[in-house]
Amino acid sequence: MSDIRLPRRRFPLITAVLATASVAVAGCGSSDSSSDAVPGGGGDDAAASGLDAVYEDAPVADEDAILPESTMAEIKERGVLRVAAALDAPLLSQQDPSSPEDVEGFDIDLAKMLAIYILGEPNIEIVPPASETREALLQNGTVDVVFNTYTITEERAEQISFAGPYFTSGLAVAVAADNEDISSIEDLDGKNVIVGANTPAVTAVPEVAPGAEVTSFATDPQAVQALVQGRGDAYVQDYTLLLAAADANDDIKIAVQPFTEEPYGIGLPPEDPEFKDFVNTWLEEIEDDGSWAEIWEATLGTVVEGDAPTPPEIGSVPGS
């Protein structure tokens, strides 16, 4: 990854859309993890110090909310929240290569806030998932939650549970910076289109561009590298991921704004309604007290124009 550049490019907020190795992370780390080596990880002292204040004032669940023999009680007894999250998603969940215990971004900072709610401190253990392993990690108890730009779908909800949605984004299109051939979804027809495995793009691209050849890659960095190397004409992925990639890489640009709506949820183990209600209660608390918006502004908000969006209504989409 290339170093962060200041001032950062800021992109429009699309109002139509934006309404196993493990890494132990202890401590908030927002101020001391602001290395400029991390895209989205530094250079904004005001945002970092603001996040410190968010952690200091983070809500903690009442003792009577930690029900006996519940998932919450198990996590509290263990002393750490196990989280499936990326380590290579700038602005969402990015590990600092010079300080591997420092991981920050919108998704992982929300995970730390949930850990504070349960434990009183931001103790998390990260299990990096592949897109196609997230359901299995929840089903076999490897992790407690998934924070991983995880689109809520009815099909997935048959396998696991979702809290939220906590954020709405959408699929967009990135191309090489010198590509002038693609400026609309229709232009993808007949092109080699890169997608992430087991992401909504796998089915969305054939629907909007039936003549496109689709090539899947397991991770976002692999897909971005393939686009830069010319192994595909375009890369269809979540808008926020592409924003971060374009911010960190002058060789690519966003050619098509979001053309789908993707409601992101917090993946939870199946058939655990007590834990789902608990996480939704926490999510509602941080949305109401403004800390959700402050985390947005310190992370994704650094490359998006305007104020933080209004979070989607909890339970508002099928599968949530």
**Residue 32: pLDDT above 50?**
no
CA angle 80, 81, 86 (to 5 degrees): 125
193 Cβ contact partners less than 8 Å away, ≥ 6 residues apart: 205, 209, 212, 213, 214, 215, 232, 233, 234, 235, 236
**Residue 249: pLDDT above 80?**
yes
Most confident of 84-88, 93-97, 117-121: 117-121
Give the whole-angstrom CA distance, residue 39 versus residue 96: 9
Give the whole-angstrom CA distance, residue 255 versus residue 257: 7
Mean pLDDT of 71-89: 95
Mean pLDDT of 59-79: 97
**Residue 26: pLDDT above 90?**
no
Write down the pLDDT at residue 71. Answer: 97
**Residue 62: pLDDT above 90?**
yes
Split at pLDDT 50, 70, 90, the class of 36 is very low
**Residue 19: pLDDT above 60?**
no
- Classified as helix, coil or strand, 236 is strand
**pLDDT over 70, % of the chain:** 84
Per-chain mean pLDDT for the chain: 85
What is the per-residue pLDDT across 164-216, written as a single tens digit (0 to 9) for each?
999 998 999 999 999 999 999 999 999 999 999 888 899 999 999 999 999 99
**From its phi and psi, is residue 275 left (phi > 0), alpha (psi between -120 and 50) or beta?**
alpha
Sheet holding 234-238, edge to edge: 213-217, 192-196, 234-238, 171-176, 252-256
Write down the pLDDT at residue 165. Answer: 97
**Residue 266: pLDDT above 50?**
yes
Write down the pLDDT at residue 306. Answer: 82
For the chain, report the end-to-end CA distance as a whole number of angstroms.
35
**Residue 25: pLDDT above 80?**
no
Domains and CATH numbers, the chain: 51-168+263-302 (3.40.190.10), 171-256 (3.40.190.10)
58 Cβ contact partners less than 8 Å away, ≥ 6 residues apart: 113, 116, 117, 286, 291
Mean pLDDT of 213-230: 93
Mean pLDDT of 227-252: 92
Write down the pLDDT at residue 23. Answer: 54
**Residue 22: pLDDT above 80?**
no
Q: Are strands 93-96 and 171-176 parallel, antiparallel or unpaired?
A: unpaired
What is the per-residue pLDDT across 271-310, written as a single tens digit (0 to 9) for each?
999 999 999 999 999 999 999 999 999 998 888 878 899 9
Q: Supply φ then ψ for residue 160, to 5 degrees.
A: -140, -175
**Residue 314: pLDDT above 50?**
yes
Helices (H), 210-261: 220-228, 239-248
Give the whole-angstrom CA distance, residue 26 versus residue 173: 36
Sheet holding 99-104, edge to edge: 88-89, 93-96, 99-104
Q: Of 155 and 52, which is predicted with more confidence?
A: 155
Write down the pLDDT at residue 305. Answer: 78
Q: What is the DSSP letter of 178?
A: T
**Residue 269: pLDDT above 80?**
yes
Split at pLDDT 50, 70, 90, the class of 11 is low
Split at pLDDT 50, 70, 90, the class of 31 is very low
Q: Which residues pair with 171 in a beta bridge?
A: 238
